[in-house]
Amino acid sequence: DTAVSQTPKYLVTQMGNDKSIKCEQNLGHDTMYWYKQDSKKFLKIMFSYNNKELIINETVPNRFSPKSPDKAHLNLHINSLELGDSAVYFCASSQGHFFLSSYNSPLHFGNGTRLTVT
Amino acid sequence: AQKVTQAQTEISVVEKEDVTLDCVYETRDTTYYLFWYKQPPSGELVFLIRRNSFDEQNEISGRYSWNFQKSTSSFNFTITASQVVDSAVYFCALSELQTNAGKSTFGDGTTLTVKP
């Protein structure tokens, strides 16, 4: 069973469109994240949720809106896509309540979604 | 200043050579965690090791070993007798509780190419 799964794996779309990426984890973790990896492989955190509550919003444009219906799911919706949004987006999860213990827990990553905006 | 510095952008070695990937971090926290992750060409990110700030014991796992030195704020990763399958991008990451609310800050990664 895949621990952290995200769909779709590839997403090709045109500028101005709205798209969503879904993420689910079956590890029972309390904290979930979205990371963006650009073409130079730099990894930057975008959002973090703990038990459906937003913890970190890392100065991401408000065209990006995460939604966590329950602690096992963290979806990412992107409005009005721009060329600069092209990247690989990784979902991740970690164990424990965020401020108490998840900082010391390794991240379990999904396989990434390669978003290409044309 | 960058919190996690991986000064080596790319390293290329021949199979069976030993290689060390450097990681230097910066923090004012007394309690923090350091991690290494591997990203092979297939693209997934895989956790390799975690070390907390109070545990400076070096760790060995097969051909992999890690050297944590608080005095130099370094957490270096050595691969002994490298193999082609070790070719990947390796990321060092720092997680601070007080300063950074527990989120992991990643270095820019070191791309390791092991040639046959």
For residue A37, the tally of other CB atoms under 10 A from its CB is 22
- Stronger pLDDT, A34 or A49, i.e. the higher one: A34
CA distance A32 to A54: 10
CA distance A41 to A22: 22
Tell me how close the Cα of A43 comes to any Cα of chain B, in angstroms: 6
Kindly identify which residue of chain B lies nearest to residue A55, measuring between CA atoms.
Answer: B101
Interface contact A111-B44, CB threshold 8 A? yes
Q: What is the dihedral of CA B79, B82, B86, B87, to 10 degrees?
A: 110
| H or E stretch at A91 | strand A87-94
Q: Is B12 left (phi over 0), alpha (psi -120 to 50) or beta?
A: beta
Per residue of chain B (116 residues), give pLDDT as tens. Answer: 569 999 999 999 999 999 999 999 999 888 889 999 999 999 999 999 999 898 888 888 999 999 999 999 999 999 999 999 999 999 999 988 776 666 789 999 999 999 99
- Stronger pLDDT, B81 or A49, i.e. the higher one: B81
Q: What is the pLDDT of residue B26?
A: 95
Q: What is the pLDDT of residue B100?
A: 64
Interface probe, candidates A40, A41, A89, chain B, greatest B C-beta count within 10 A: A41
Partner residue opposite A41 with nearest CB, options B50, B105, B109: B109
Kindly identify which residue of chain A lies nearest to residue B40, measuring between CA atoms.
Answer: A111
Q: What is the pLDDT of residue A34?
A: 95
CA distances from residue B107 to A35, A63, B35, B92 in whole angstroms, order as listed? 13, 26, 10, 5
Across the range A29-39, mean pLDDT stands at 93
Report the DSSP beta bridge partners of residue B37: B47, B91
Residue A105: pLDDT band with limits 50, 70, 90: confident
Interface probe, candidates A35, A43, A60, A89, chain B, greatest B C-beta count within 10 A: A43
Residue A55: pLDDT band with limits 50, 70, 90: confident
Partner residue opposite B91 with nearest CB, options A43, A58, A88: A43
**Which is it for strands B4-5 and B59-61: parallel, antiparallel or unpaired?**
unpaired
Across the range A96-109, mean pLDDT stands at 69
Tell me how close the Cα of B89 comes to any Cα of chain A, in angstroms: 8
- CA-nearest of A59, A89, A85 to A74 is A89
Q: What is the pLDDT of residue B66?
A: 95
Interface contact A109-B45, CB threshold 8 A? yes
In whole numbers, what is the pLDDT of chain A averaged over residues?
90
CA distance B45 to A107: 9
Q: What is the pLDDT of residue A100?
A: 53
Across the range A9-14, mean pLDDT stands at 97
Across the range A53-72, mean pLDDT stands at 88
Query: Which residues of chain A does B4 touch, with a Cβ-Cβ cutoff of 8 Å?
Result: none
Q: What is the pLDDT of residue A38?
A: 94
Q: What is the dihedral of CA B83, B9, A48, A59, to 10 degrees?
A: -160
Instruction: Say whether residue B5 is in contact with chain A using an 8 A CB cutoff.
Output: no
